[in-house]
Each structure stands twice: as structure tokens, then as C-alpha cells.
Amino acid sequence: PPHAPPIAYLAIIFLAGANAFTPASPIPLPNAIAGLRAEKSRCNASNAAIIGALAPDASFAYFRSVDSAPTSPPTAAAAASASPSEKKILVAYQGVPGAYSEAAALEAYPTCEPRPCEQFEDAFESTEQFSTDRAVLPFENSLGGSIHRNYDLVLTHRLHIVGEVYFKVRHCLLALPGQEKSALTRALSHPQALSQCDGYLTRLGVVKEEFDDTAGAAAHIQREGLFGHAAIASRRAAELYGMHVYDEDIQDDESNVTRFLALAREPLPPREG
């Protein structure tokens, strides 16, 4: 597939899981490929159940630890708990407050303190250098495919995959309050968000303008007082930056789910039995 990273990369990512991975101890490629095929089959079935459960009126996300596969289709309650050891931990994410990555971090660790990072590399380094306890970062989107850069970063940083979050992306049209929707002429957001809302934005008749981050676009419009400009971002971004929500769920495809991985310095303990 055009979005798929090299098979060796995926094999290492899937099989590393709760195990240590360092360049000094690579997985033999034939074993990795065989393991990937089995893991891909299992993940496809699991992902289908997860995405199917995230209906338009369902909870935003589903979180699980990689050392225990769910035994039944996920529900909203499956993402609701965190162990005492997870309380008040610091979790790095890429973006600014109100970003979807922040929401995914809070779904994974509801009592955590999210720490924004400007770049993906900053989030990896923050956890690796003990500034934060976890990093929660996107790796795949059901519409946009794989985020190759983050696969590369897993191979160059000594972090371990300890969980995954399936997050349903629900885009909103945000703008400064006190204006009619018909007065909006430009829409700012991350290129992927603009692409995912292309049909809606075309019907609205606005010019699409790329920005580094969805929530960052909302913050920029609020900071600069840009009337006539809209942002494609989350409802939380609207609340944080004093924006009005003109429309919700404006993405063209309802099956818009992003898979995030939770990363830590220490691997999960091996399963017994």
C-alpha cells in the first residue's frame, strides 16, 4: 500500500511491544516478517472491532495495554480506568493544548498531566530524558495511513510500546463569536484535517489554508483577532481559546480513527503463562 512503511520497520515495531529493542539486538528479518504476518491478521480483526465500536455517538476513544488483548468488543467503559501507579504521571504529546494528541493522552492516562511538545522528536526526547513519564503519539490513521516519521523515531530512541489508543477524530468548525457562518472566507488547520473535511469546506466556499496544528490554528485566530477566519479543530480547542463552534462532525468520512501508541522508558513485565 502507498502509505505503508517498509515491512521490516513494521515487524520490529509490532514485535518489540513489551520487549526491549536496541540496534544491538535486532530481530532476524525472516522471523520478524513471519511474526508480522500473524500480528497483522490479529490486529486487523481487533482494529475492525474497535473502529466499529466507535460509532458517531460513542465515546471518543478506546485504550488498552499491549500486554493484554481485549476478550470482547470494546466499550466506552474500557477506556475509563487508570491504575494508582498511573496517577499524576507526566505525558508528552505533540501539539498545543486542545490538540487531538492531548485528548488521546488523557484517554490513555485520565489523571495525567499532559505536557505539550512542539515536534514529535521533542516528545520522544522528553520521555527518554526523564522530563516526562510517557509519550502518546500518533502512528496510523484509518484515512491517511501511517505516520512514517514516528516509526523512524521508535527505531532511534530507547523507548518501549506499553499501550495503544484508538481515537475517533471529530472535527469542528470554529471561529470567533459574533459573526455569521456566511462571513467566513478562510479555513485554517493541519493539512490532513483540511483534506478530511474537503467536501464540507468546498460546500462552504472557503479558501483552505494550511497550519502546523489543528488547535494551533484556533489559538492563532484567537490571538490575532482574525474575523472571517475559521479553524478546523476539536471542541476542546474551542473551549480553551474562546471560539464558537459553528458546526460539529464536519469530516467527510465517519470512520476517521487514529491509532496512538503509548511509549515509556521501561517495558511492560512479561505475561505469565
Active site residues: 258, 260
Say whether 49 sits in a helix, a strand or coil. helix
Q: How many CA atoms lie within 13 A of 219 on its CB side?
A: 14
DSSP string, 231-242: EEE-HHHHHHHT
CB atoms within 10 A of CB 31: 11
With beta carbons less than 8 A apart as the criterion, state whether 223 and 96 touch. Answer: no
| C-alpha–C-alpha distance, residues 122 and 96, integer Å | 13
With beta carbons less than 8 A apart as the criterion, state whether 120 and 236 touch. Answer: no
Judged by phi (left if over 0) then psi (alpha if -120 to 50, else beta), residue 261 lies in beta
CB atoms within 10 A of CB 222: 19
With beta carbons less than 8 A apart as the criterion, state whether 100 and 218 touch. Answer: no
Say whether 218 sits in a helix, a strand or coil. helix
What sign results for the dihedral spanned by CA atoms 130, 131, 133, 136? negative
Q: Which residues pair with 210 in a beta bridge?
A: 189
DSSP string, 135-178: EEEEEEETTTEE-HHHHHHHHHS--EEEEEEEEE---EEEE-SS
Q: What is the distance, to the nearest Å, from the Cα of residue 165 to the centroid of all Cα atoms in its chain? A: 7
